Structure 1
Amino acid sequence: MPYTPPPDLAGLSLMDVARLMEERGLPPLDQWQPEHVGDSEMRIAADGRWYHQGGEVRRPGMVRAFASLLLRDDDGQHWLVTPHQKLSIEVEDAALIATDVKCEDGALAFRLNTDDLVIAGPDHPLRVSGTAEEPAAYVMARHGIEARLDRSTWLQLAEIALADGDEPVVSSNGASFSLLPA
């Protein structure tokens, strides 16, 4: 079956985003307990590009498939998980990149570089680290995996905060998030 990416975020309502998130049907990684543990020989660069044994993974479908199998444990280690194996993967910064944001009805919806959609809130918090001169903003995607906001998405988020008042704060699904580095 051919892959059909979701429409542009601007053309989706918040209900459309929620429906598409539900339809995504991600694997139940937290329920799998594979016996084999090893190294995937994979790396995700800070710019979101994926590499295997030093060569770039150029097929977006492969990146989407691998990303659906990613989780991060409590120690911060990223893993590719299947029912039969758990393979470590090196992640330079964040495993995913947020490439767009939309504010509607008190919620912030993000589109990721894997075409996944995330609505920020208590279960998908935003956090900002770095410095005031070089902030780095992240949204929790799933299974401990974060997506770093790219520069244009960060600027969109800053505009949303400034449109709502003088404070560098945004709200989504009842949760408020400071845009100042912690």
Structure 2
Amino acid sequence: MNTSSNVTLNRRRLLCGCAGLATLSLLGCGQSGAAASSAPAEIDAQASCSLDGMLLADYPGPKGQIRYDGVAEVQWFCDSVELLSVLLAPEQVRAVQSAHVQDMALADWDQPRGHWIDARQALYVLGSKRHGSMGPTVASFATETAAQAFVQQHGGRLLRYAELQPGMVDLSGGALHDTRM
């Protein structure tokens, strides 16, 4: 009898150990999956703006992207002003998993690719002479030194994300003033 109970006990330990390993494996997958899903995506030729359908690759200036909780697809923005207007909108209630803009100290202004930074940690220059897809835009930077250098060359004023107000990134009337349309 002692042998039979040892076999049963060992079998239980083995099953519990396997169940524990499976649980840990699944938890690990969930964490890496969440981390991967909040990582910035890269712009491809078909990436289009979630607000107006414009192809991102066709326009200069800083781009943006948002990942919402429970939504697999990246929401693209052809201009940082559009992304900021969505993030700062008082009626914005969707849970944002991550939001990224491009560091324009590193990205090519005319064909920006890569160099994604957290939109809520970025520094912004408003009112510069540089234009994006929607005309006047908000340039985004990872460092204050790079943002100040941009201000010296192109004008504008430097603000941190917490200093931005919805009225500073208002989209109303933008297309009405675009003479290229």
TM above 0.5 = no
Under a length normalisation based on structure 2, what TM-score does the superposition of the two structures give?
A: 0.25
Higher helix share: 2
Q: Which has the larger radius of gyration?
A: 2
